[in-house]
Amino acid sequence: MDFVFAAVLGFLLGSIPFGLILTRAAGLGDVRNIGSGSIGATNVLRTGNKGLAAATVLLDAAKAVVPILIAGALWSGTEGVAAVAAVAGHCFTPWLKFKGGKGFASAAGALGALAFPAFFVCAMIWVASLAISRISSVSSLVSVIAAPLVAWGMGFAQIIAPLIAIAAIVIVQHRANISRLMRGEEPKVGGGT
């Protein structure tokens, strides 16, 4: 039953659509009507408000961290379930007809809460892949795919299965980006393809 409680907690906290809430509160309208239609930080950045995008990143990461910490305190051993549920809640929020963000910021927050040393390594992988590719989706996908391998290599065996599940969710949410990458049409950071 503890796993059910952790999953419900993670999903509900993960489902809070901070990107939409923040853009509406700032008078910028519905973020789903611009760019990719996502509620995540990258799309919030397309409003031109960097501060709002930064706040979205932090809140989307925090909504994965908080349920993991609560689950760990109340139901030891359920942290991985809370992590997967939080990312799923972000990507498939019931408040927006089960459409949400792409899950990367929440996935990063989850990894940070589960194993900070592995998060640090994956953050370096993200930075390196962004510097090489100059494509945000590539760096997100590379680092989320690397996360289970990094966790395994660093001895965090208990979080490998949750990280694989999280990677699968994030990859599914990036399917349009993957299609554009295959066609050579995915935009680079700073413009161009």
Is 32 a member of any domain?
yes
Position with higher pLDDT, 35 vs 186: 186
Q: How far apart, in Å, are the Cα atoms of 103 and each of 52, 71, 84, 99, 191?
A: 17, 20, 10, 11, 23
pTM score of the predicted model: 0.95
Is 193 a member of any domain?
no
Q: What is the pLDDT of residue 179?
A: 96
- The span from the CA of 26 to the CA of 149, in Å, is 40
Q: What is the pLDDT of residue 192?
A: 54
Residue 193 has pLDDT above 60, yes or no: no
> What is the DSSP secondary structure assignment for residue 184, as one 8-state letter?
T
Q: What is the mean pLDDT of residues 18-37?
A: 92
141 burial via Cβ count (<10 Å: 0-12, 13-18, 19+): buried
Is 191 a member of any domain?
no
The amino acid at residue 19 is G
Is 121 a member of any domain?
yes
Is 51 a member of any domain?
yes
Is 190 a member of any domain?
no
Q: What is the mean pLDDT of the chain?
A: 95
C-alpha closest to that of 96 among 24, 35, 39, 56:
39
Who's near 95: CB < 8 A, 6+ residues apart? 15, 16, 17
Q: What share of the chain is helix, strand, coil (3-state, %, to 5)?
A: 75, 0, 25
pLDDT in tens, 98-154: 999 999 999 999 999 999 999 999 999 999 999 999 999 999 999 999 999 999 999
- The span from the CA of 104 to the CA of 5, in Å, is 24
Name the residue range of residue 137's domain. 2-183
Specify the number of domains making up the chain: 1
Contact 174, 140 (CB under 8 A): yes
Q: What is the pLDDT of residue 191?
A: 63
Q: What is the pLDDT of residue 43?
A: 87
Q: What is the pLDDT of residue 173?
A: 97
Residue 85 burial (CB count, 10 A): 29
pLDDT in tens, 74-99: 999 999 999 999 999 999 999 999 99
Is 24 a member of any domain?
yes
